[in-house]
């Protein structure tokens, strides 16, 4: 199986920063970021995956806002470029939105990171489900869900086209003859579409891995189509094995419609593990973090996660009411509301359930128990691996690396050494064919 370390500033849990051993200077301390990256590499993770948003939430009460531990963070491309210099094999995946960026700038950033890291970059394509982001980009309200995805598809097409600007052997650099590159191996894009007009070519050379890995997260029907059409790695949120298997099968079934095969796509759900030598110790760890959640924070984070406001006006010990779809994180909203209905949760119980996993797989137990759950999903058609979401940093990541990784290795489920130097090769994904070569070959065949 493949593993990514999906990390927030202090950890996945909303109260992670309050843990006595936590990185509570994250977003300010480069040393903390280095420690996390090097721990992930020690565990032979495929990649480090940074969550991101482009806004500080001003929603909720002043009390709840003042208790949030994830309000500041490093800009992802900046921190990953720095981490490339202190890691050797670890992939570096950044979340970057299509809603508030320009494709040329983004293509240039990720191509540069790929050169700096020797072919280890990946782009997590998102459409920004955080409505606050829009207010920082000259908009008065967030674009509609369907409009965001339409722009995202064209955006990704432009980015992929720009990444194909140069052939691998375009640069001759012959000092004797004075020829630096072969103009026939340079490909302007000349894109003209509904949202973008981009001539190209990109002024960064061909990626060491062909193109950076394209990651996509989104579980709505539209999101699944985007995954099947564009993604090489699909990041998804599911709470049960049955949901995971349905999602996996559905995405794989959509691939032929876009001329793709299962060999080109990996599905990696989020996994929130709490692990200790004994099950009772693991449960104690889980309960301790849960005890650190202030009620105002639990409510505010749930409001943000499902895109619904004024939950503080409802009784915490009452049932979770029916809620209409929002223009925010639609698939996550539906997932959590389904969980509340299925498990008959009160509003506060849903707040607690959301505080750590936030709609992802929760597993609490010994290394063997956690590995059993992972093996079940992996072998029974629900996952090609997992994005591991440490509850608090660095402790929960250390626990996973020191306790679970050896168990997975003992079972033959995970590598003992990196297979290659690039992220694409470590993931076992095929090298993409340059679109300009493919067009030329198609023309010759006709």
Tokens of 333: 């909203």
Residue 420 has pLDDT above 60, yes or no: yes
Residue 374: other Cβ atoms inside 10 A: 26
Greater confidence (410 vs 97) lies with 410
Q: Out of 201-215, 325-339, 395-409, 423-437, pick the least confident.
A: 325-339
pLDDT digits (tens, 9 = 90+) for 18-50: 999 999 997 899 999 999 999 999 999 999 999
Give the closest residue to 11 by CA, choosing from 39, 41, 44: 39
Q: Residue 445: its pLDDT value, please?
A: 55
User: pTM to 2 decimals?
Assistant: 0.91
Tokens of 337: 């509301």
Residue 374: band (very low, low, confident or very high) from pLDDT cuts 50, 70, 90: very high
Q: Residue 186: its pLDDT value, please?
A: 97
Asked if 295 and 316 count as a contact pair (C-beta separation under 8 A), the reply is yes
Helix (H) or strand (E) holding 181: strand 179-181
Q: Residue 443: its pLDDT value, please?
A: 61
Q: How far is 240 from 229, CA to CA, in rounded Å? A: 25
Q: Read off the pLDDT of each residue in 265-279 and give the average, rounded to a whole number.
A: 98
pLDDT digits (tens, 9 = 90+) for 210-265: 999 999 987 778 889 999 999 999 999 988 999 999 999 999 999 999 999 999 99
> Is 443 exposed, middle or buried, given 0-12, 13-18 or 19+ CB atoms closer than 10 A?
exposed
Give the closest residue to 229 by CA, choosing from 155, 121, 328, 165: 155
Asked if 277 and 403 count as a contact pair (C-beta separation under 8 A), the reply is yes
Q: How far is 195 from 127, CA to CA, in rounded Å? A: 14
Contacting residues for 143 by C-beta, under 8 A, at least 6 apart: 99, 134, 151
Residue 277 has pLDDT above 60, yes or no: yes
pLDDT digits (tens, 9 = 90+) for 169-182: 999 999 999 999 99
Residue 442: band (very low, low, confident or very high) from pLDDT cuts 50, 70, 90: low
Domains and CATH numbers, the chain: 2-279+361-445 (3.20.20.30)
CA dihedral 159, 164, 170, 173 (to 10 degrees): 20
């Amino acid at each position: 199986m493949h593993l990514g370390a999906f990390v927030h500033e202090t950890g996945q849990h909303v109260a992670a920063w309050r843990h006595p051993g936590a990185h509570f200077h994250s977003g300010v301390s480069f040393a903390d970021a280095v420690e996390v990256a090097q721990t992930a590499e020690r565990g032979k993770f495929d990649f480090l995956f940074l969550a991101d948003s482009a806004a500080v939430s001003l929603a909720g009460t002043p009390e709840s806002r003042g208790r949030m531990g994830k309000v500041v963070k490093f800009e992802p491309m900046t921190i990953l470029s720095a981490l490339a210099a202190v890691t050797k094999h670890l992939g570096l995946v950044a979340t970057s939105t299509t809603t508030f960026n320009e494709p040329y700038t983004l293509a240039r950033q990720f191509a540069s990171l790929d050169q700096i890291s020797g072919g280890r970059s990946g782009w997590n394509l998102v459409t920004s489900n955080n409505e606050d982001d829009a207010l920082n980009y000259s908009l008065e309200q967030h674009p509609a869900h369907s409009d965001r995805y339409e722009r995202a598809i064209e955006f990704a097409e432009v980015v992929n086209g720009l990444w194909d600007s140069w052939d691998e052997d375009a640069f001759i650099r012959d000092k004797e003859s004075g020829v630096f590159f072969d103009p026939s191996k340079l490909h302007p894009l000349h894109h003209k579409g509904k949202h973008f007009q981009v001539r190209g070519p990109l002024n960064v050379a061909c990626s060491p891995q062909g193109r950076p890995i394209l990651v996509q997260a989104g579980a709505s029907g539209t999101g699944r189509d985007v995954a099947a059409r564009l993604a090489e790695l699909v990041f998804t949120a599911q709470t049960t094995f049955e949901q995971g298997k349905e999602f996996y099968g559905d995405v794989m079934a959509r691939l032929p419609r876009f001329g793709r095969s299962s060999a080109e796509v990996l599905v990696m759900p989020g996994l929130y593990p709490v692990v200790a030598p004994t099950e009772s110790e693991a449960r104690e760890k889980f309960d301790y973090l849960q005890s650190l959640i202030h009620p105002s924070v639990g409510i505010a984070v749930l409001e943000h996660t499902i895109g619904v406001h004024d939950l503080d006006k409802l009784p915490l010990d009452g049932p979770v009411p029916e809620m209409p779809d929002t223009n925010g994180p639609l698939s996550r909203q539906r997932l959590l509301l389904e969980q509340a209905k299925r498990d008959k949760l009160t509003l506060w119980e849903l707040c607690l359930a959301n505080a750590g996993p936030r709609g992802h797989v929760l597993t609490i137990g010994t290394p063997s128990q956690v590995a059993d759950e992972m093996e079940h999903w992996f072998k029974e058609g629900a996952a090609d691996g997992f994005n591991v979401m440490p509850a608090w940093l660095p402790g929960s990541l250390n626990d996973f690396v020191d306790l679970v990784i050896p168990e997975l290795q003992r079972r033959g489920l995970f590598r003992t050494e990196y297979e290659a130097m690039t992220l694409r090769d470590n993931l076992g994904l095929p090298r993409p064919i340059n679109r300009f070569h493919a067009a030329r070959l198609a023309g010759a065949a006709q």
